[in-house]
Structure 1
Amino acid sequence: MDDCIAACDFDAWEGAAEALAGGLLHLVAVAAAASANRPNAVGHITQRRLQQLDQPSGRTDFVLQARETVVKMSSLMGMPRAINALHSLAAAVPQDSDLARELAAAPVLRGDADYSHARMRARGLELFSAIYGRHAATVEDRLHALCPDLAEVIVVDSYGRLLGETRRLSARDTELCAVGCLVPLDVPAQLKSHCLGASRLGASDAMVQAAIRLARLVCTRRP
């Protein structure tokens, strides 16, 4: 189904999420739309933000952050939806433009030179502890009891290699995007955990509530 988004939708979204300043609002919206499997909406959101930015460097930074948002959220929403979202995001960038060339030249953040299992595990545990606080060890033990392989994948790959990379998207902003991503997935326990995690990483309560409101609006299809 083709997603039609009018200016009034954007006005409502931006009005409901004023606590999310600047491009962060649009990144949370991208996370929610991708997770809801509304890939065309991802393209519309990207175009909206690009129209608001005057400087070429700002446009490049935003698209790189939007791509990074989708990559990170693939650990929560799954690869198929991430691929769909990235297709739409790419289509929002004019081909043979300076922006397209800047994006093509951007360095890969997760290349072989940056990877070691031990480092990713340590980074994953650090982020895991920051998000879950004093409950981190209990949560990890429960995951191990469910399936040791899954626990290892979550710590090393999801938290270490994906979510723990902060060169383009900070830990706080990543958690706010995670909140937006989890709303359409209807997983209350995980949503609560990441709302608390966002707060522990520096997000205000107003920012967390704005991310929830925004995600709900983004996931509501127009008749």
Structure 2
Amino acid sequence: MLLTPQRLLKISSNSHLANLWYLIATVTLTVCNQPQEIPAIYHYAMRTKHLHELPSVDLYQKVLSTVDRFHNIRDTGKDPHYTPYPDEAFQTTEKFRESILKTCALSGLPKAINSLMILKDTTPYNLRRHDNEATNRAPIKSFEEYQAVQKRGREFWDGVYTKVSHRIINQMASSYPDLWQYAIRDVYSDLLSYCGVLSHEETSVIVISCLIPQDVNPQLKGHLKGALNSGVDVEILRESRRLAMEISEWCGVKWRREVASI
């Protein structure tokens, strides 16, 4: 495993990222195509957040035992309703799911599918979604609803790019008109700007964490500035960048140029 006891202890003990470290780690591992590490992140976070256990080497061993137990449930079907966590942990689990979903627009659907499937297999029955039709994003039933979603997406876009918004739109549209239409209609409007699970600030951190392993400084610079515009604390941004870089390095990522910073 990439995530040794010492590494998990280190990343989970960052006081600036108490409610973000596990989401940053999850999306960075997704982008780096290391989804097999997500169960350890998930159960470590659930135990510290909802069972109030302290990060430690002993906790790491408990986490591995929990991961093994859910693998056994998956493989044998025995004791399918076993859960160590209370029902109120559902919202934390939703944040894991939503964070991975938002990586679709940034690193591709296949990686997001793999991470979500692995997360599902290690999620207790009481914290899963059991109605396949019950999506967070309600189906659009009228043109007015469609317009409202598109307006939300454009506001999110403008909040990120502010003064240079129109210039970037023109650049994208001139390279291929369908690129801009896809970006605003499907990526920003329907996916990124939805804040029913993650706040705009959390989404900003997720986006930055996804961009860091990919060596795409133009986009990273824009979203770092956009996160500041969204009200994300500069120290949180710096620590998020540092954590995503550290995890990326564990995954073997090497950058061709210095990673953009604030």
TM over 0.5: yes
Deviations 1:134-185 (A, max 9, x none): 1111111111111111101101111000001001001111010111111111
Contact 1:18 1:210 in 2 (8 A): no
Structure 1, unaligned stretches of length 5 or more?
Answer: none
Q: Within 5 Å, give how 1:44-193 maps onto structure 2.
A: 44-52=40-48, 53-54=50-51, 56-94=86-124, 97-100=125-128, 103-105=129-131, 107-113=134-140, 116-193=145-222
Question: For 2:251 and 2:31, how far apart are their aligned partners in 1?
Answer: 17
Deviation at 1:216, TM superposition (A): 1.5
1:32 aligns with 2:62: no
What fraction of aligned residue pairs are identical, expressed as a percent? Answer: 24
Aligned match for 2:18, one of 2, 17, 21: 21
Q: TM-score, normalised by structure 2?
A: 0.76
After superposition, the Cα gap between the structure-2 partners of 1:58 and 1:28, relative to the gap in structure 1 and judged at 3 Å, is farther
Q: Note if 1:43 corresponds to 2:39.
A: yes
- The alignment yields a C-alpha RMSD, in angstroms, of 2.0
Q: Which has the higher contact order (CA 8 A, sep 6+)?
A: 1
Match of 1:11 among 9, 12, 18: 9
| Equivalent position to 1:220, from 226, 233, 249 | 249
Amino acid at match of 2:100: V
Note closer, same or farther for the CA distance 1:117–1:194 as it changes in structure 2 (3 Å cut): same
- The structure having more radius of gyration, on CA atoms, is 2
Query: How many residues in Structure 1 have an aligned counterpart in Structure 2?
Result: 215
- Structure 2 residue ranges without an equivalent (≥5): 52-84, 253-262
CA distance in 2, matches of 1:144, 1:72: 23
> Which amino acid in the other structure matches residue 114 of structure 2?
N
| Length-normalised TM-score, structure 1 | 0.89
Q: How big is the shift at 1:222?
A: 7.3
